[in-house]
Structure 1
Amino acid sequence: MKVAVIGGGSSYTPELVNGFLERVDSFPLKELWLMDILPERLEIVGKFAQRMVKAMGAPFEVHLTTDQREAVRNANYVTTQLRVGWMQARREDEYLGRRHGLIGQETTGIGGMAKALRTIPVILKIAYDMQELAAPGALLVNFTNPAGLVTEALSRYATNVQAVGVCNAPITTKMNILQRLEEVGLKVEPEQAELDTLGLNHLTWHRGFRIDGEDVWPQVMGSYIKSLRNGEMDDWDVRTIETLQMIPNGYLQYFYYTDKKIATQEKWPPSRAERVMEIEKGLFAQYAEPDRTVPPEGLMQRGGAYYSTVATQLLNAHYNDLGETHIVNTAHRGAVEGWPTDWVLEIPCKVNRSGITPLPAKPLPMACFGLLAQIKAYEILTVEAAVHGDRKAAYEALLTHPLGPAADQVQAVLDDLLTTHRAYLPQFN
């Protein structure tokens, strides 16, 4: 079996390699191909990955390449974890938002739109190379942000390639709930628990939790609201959570508490991108240590907790036809009654060799659906803008987004975006 990792020079790669090493008994990987367009990063990360694998008895080979087509040729699985423009572009996205009085964030608002416009054409090219060169039935697993928006593009413009978008947020929520239950005396293994969540990537509402099929959501919510009341955490205001009786994805804070988030930006530097740049300097120095064979503890500071768990569990379920439930991004195809069937949602799905099948899900209440529908309209317009270099669609997308600028400022913000990232937006030139 061959797995290709596009963006193999990422600081996340050692965690992914570790995940494959932990699953060699059930997931018979033979060739892991790490592809990156930056040879110097690929050399550091790739050599470290090779040492990691060798230290575990070399159960599979690790190949390094800067040739995307070579990487995907005959691949059974292709994962994407790339960043067009690298971390410097993320920093530009953050400060693009700030200088216009908007949210400046990697996946949300103007920053997320800028990243999507840069990223979608690159991911589609990977899908088209897979269609030509990959093994029959190959699966594309996209981790690249904004994951839902990228998957929306794949669903609409790479229909001959099986693709799914993945995020670590659902499993992180699940593990946090399990930790909370353990603190009150109920220890549960992750495989016993099932999270019910629905929405878009980074725009989901968690609304149910089962242990061995038994609903324990009332206990979860009771404990959560108690912690909010006691001041143990300040993620949300109590009234909102009591009203919704759901736990929103953390990124919904940008929508629910926009003024607070914008005020926080005024304290930059450092922005998140600037902090990550410093973290990665340390990580790459450690990766380059010639005797290192295990990932450094500092990798957890990078973010992306449970990334390798999500990735390898999904691939393992698909390869071994397990029929497990995983929360992923895919077109729901009627699983949510009354919603357009072609919408890509973050939704529980059954995963086996025949594919990714969304499970029937109850629609969200109107208080959540209104925001979701508005963001989905923005996403569809952004896909059209990214694929066709359509400035009108880009204008409409920014006009539609609830975190966008005032109508009479849309053109100025859009012009700034297109100028700032001109080098990575050839479709608009």
Structure 2
Amino acid sequence: MKLSIIGGGSTYTPELIDGFARLSSSLPIEELWLVDTDPARLALVAGMAQRMFAAAGHPGRVIPTLDLVAGVSDADAVLIQLRIGGQAARHGDETFPHAVCCIGQETTGPGGFAKALRTVPVVLSVAETIRTHAKPDAWIIDFTNPVGIVTRALLNEGHRAVGLCNVAIGFQRKFANLLGVDHRAIRLDHVGLNHLSWERGVWLRDVSGASRDVLPELIGTHLTELAEEIELPPHLISLLGNVPSYYLRYFYAHDEVLREQGSGPSRAQAVLEVEQALLDIYADTSMNTKPDLLSKRGGAFYSEAAVDLIASLTSDRGDVQVVNLRNNGSLPFLPDDHVIEVSATVGAHGVQALPIAPLDDDIRGLISQVAGYERLALDAAIHGGRDRVLRAMMAHPLVLQFDRAEKLTDLLLAENSQHLAWAR
């Protein structure tokens, strides 16, 4: 198998390499191509990756390249993990909304919208190169945020794509730890949009193969731990009867999060320091294992999620994973072409959502509202124009007010004009 990583010079890449090395029996990679536009970072990360494969006895070759065509030619699967504008642009996403008392975040709200505008055109351009030069049945695995919007852009253009996030796999590990069981015995009833999701069931499989929903038991006996994990009040979990993702804090505790964001450096500033320290570590030719510092970079369990997804898509395992895929009637209140994040069976045929029980009105309403924003955001990302940006901004439930939306639109365009050809 030839696997390509677009954005392979990311300091996060060794997290993926660690998973590929440990789980090589599930995913037999013969060639791993790392594609990037930054030669210095690429050389450091590729050297680290090569040493990690060698130390683990992995037979695969790690090949760095600045040439996108060479990197994806005849690839069986391509992972896209891009950050257009780097941490500097992320810092803007996390700070410019504060001027009008909105949370700043790189995937949610006005900041996430800015990232979508920068990212979608680049990903679609990369995907066209993949379509032309990779194997005809190659899969595109999108890690690039905002995953739901980017994956929908890819699917709308006919690409063989699926989106992946680590929220669900993190919950799976957390629940298994609380129950004292192997994580592979846990299947989630996960539903929503990317970074707007709820765990509505935790199905525990016993030795006989039968499964039962232990979510009520988890809420009853581990309510405090669950609340601490997502940083939301215990009573909210009890009220909902499910476990919302951490990203629901931006909606359920917006003002509290806004106060927190005003009291310290942005996440981008913190990550920038971690990245420089990681690059120094990768430059040490004696290092051949994933450094502990990488845990502060974020993306826990992404490597396991990536291995599971690619292995299932290429070997037809037919197991259940949480992915971003086309709605196709799974949530009847959304258009068929919208992208949702749900539990699905994964095989060589692709991904198929499991049946979804009707949602409560409050959850359905929030999903509908954010989905409406996402559709307008994708239209703005593809076609450009201030008015399209303004309409999408106003549609977001964290914005809504026209005056606030206008101010945020001008702030967004000022921060991102160098990345938006139509706004220069």
TM-score by length of 1: 0.94
Correspondence 1:68-217 to 2 at 5 A? 68-156=68-156, 158-159=157-158, 161-182=159-180, 188-212=181-205, 213-217=211-215
Contact 1:30 1:61 in 2 (8 A): yes
* Matched length: 419
**CA deviation profile, 1:98-149 (whole Å, cap 9, x unmatched):** 2222111111111100000000111111211111111021000011111112
Question: Could you tell me how far apart the structure 2 residues matched to 1:359 and 1:77 are?
Answer: 24
Contact 1:152 1:380 in 2 (8 A): no
**CA deviation profile, 1:315-341 (whole Å, cap 9, x unmatched):** 111111100111000112122344422
Which residue does the alignment assign to 2:419? Answer: 424
Letter in 2 for 1:255: F
Which residue does the alignment assign to 1:380? Answer: 375
Question: Could you tell me how far apart the structure 2 residues matched to 1:232 and 1:353 are?
Answer: 38
* Shift, 1:95, TM fit: 1.3
- 2:300 alignment partner, SS class: coil
Question: Could you tell me how far apart the structure 2 residues matched to 1:96 and 1:26 are?
Answer: 43
Mean Cα deviation higher: 403-412 or 292-301: 403-412
- 2:222 alignment partner, SS class: helix
**CA deviation profile, 1:262-296 (whole Å, cap 9, x unmatched):** 1112212x111111111111111111101111110
Mean Cα deviation higher: 337-346 or 27-36: 337-346
C-alpha change, 1:60 and 1:238, in structure 2 (3 Å) is closer
Which of 286, 299, 323 is the matching residue for 1:304?
299
**CA deviation profile, 1:37-77 (whole Å, cap 9, x unmatched):** 11111011011111112223351111111121221111110
TM-score by length of 2: 0.95
Question: Could you tell me how far apart the structure 2 residues matched to 1:232 and 1:75 are?
Answer: 42
Which residue does the alignment assign to 1:266? Answer: 262
Contact 2:313 2:346 in 1 (8 A): yes
Letter in 1 for 2:42: L
**CA deviation profile, 1:385-424 (whole Å, cap 9, x unmatched):** 0011132221111001111263123223212211211111
Question: Could you tell me how far apart the structure 1 residues matched to 2:378 and 2:86 are?
Answer: 21
Contact 1:334 1:340 in 2 (8 A): yes
Contact 2:100 2:407 in 1 (8 A): no
- 1:421 alignment partner, SS class: helix
Question: Could you tell me how far apart the structure 2 residues matched to 1:340 and 1:363 are?
Answer: 16
Contact 1:405 1:413 in 2 (8 A): no
RMSD: 1.6
Which of 348, 354, 357 is the matching residue for 2:352?
357
- 2:352 alignment partner, SS class: strand
Which residue does the alignment assign to 1:185? Answer: none
Contact 1:379 1:397 in 2 (8 A): yes
Percent identity, aligned pairs only, is 40
Mean Cα deviation higher: 231-240 or 376-385: 231-240
- 2:287 alignment partner, SS class: coil
Correspondence 1:194-343 to 2 at 5 A? 194-212=187-205, 213-225=211-223, 227=225, 235-268=231-264, 270-343=265-338
- 1:362 alignment partner, SS class: coil
* Shift, 1:427, TM fit: 3.3
Mean Cα deviation higher: 25-34 or 84-93: 25-34
Question: Could you tell me how far apart the structure 2 residues matched to 1:94 and 1:338 are?
Answer: 31
- 2:197 alignment partner, SS class: strand
C-alpha change, 1:80 and 1:53, in structure 2 (3 Å) is same
* Shift, 1:191, TM fit: 1.4
2:348 is equivalent to residue 348 of structure 1: no
**CA deviation profile, 1:176-234 (whole Å, cap 9, x unmatched):** 1111112xxxxx11111101110001100111011111221210121233557xx9678
Letter in 2 for 1:219: E
Question: Could you tell me how far apart the structure 2 residues matched to 1:246 and 1:369 are?
Answer: 14
Letter in 1 for 2:187: E
Gaps of 5+ in 2: 206-210
Contact 1:197 1:208 in 2 (8 A): yes
Question: Could you tell me how far apart the structure 2 residues matched to 1:338 and 1:136 are?
Answer: 34
Correspondence 1:12-27 to 2 at 5 A? 12-27=12-27
Question: Could you tell me how far apart the structure 2 residues matched to 1:107 and 1:21 are?
Answer: 30
Which residue does the alignment assign to 1:414? Answer: 409
Which residue does the alignment assign to 2:363? Answer: 368
C-alpha change, 1:69 and 1:254, in structure 2 (3 Å) is same
Letter in 2 for 1:218: P
Contact 1:4 1:72 in 2 (8 A): yes
Question: Could you tell me how far apart the structure 1 residues matched to 2:262 and 2:278 are?
Answer: 28
Contact 2:316 2:347 in 1 (8 A): yes
Contact 1:336 1:360 in 2 (8 A): no
Which residue does the alignment assign to 1:9? Answer: 9
Letter in 2 for 1:63: I
**CA deviation profile, 1:163-188 (whole Å, cap 9, x unmatched):** 01100000101111111112xxxxx1
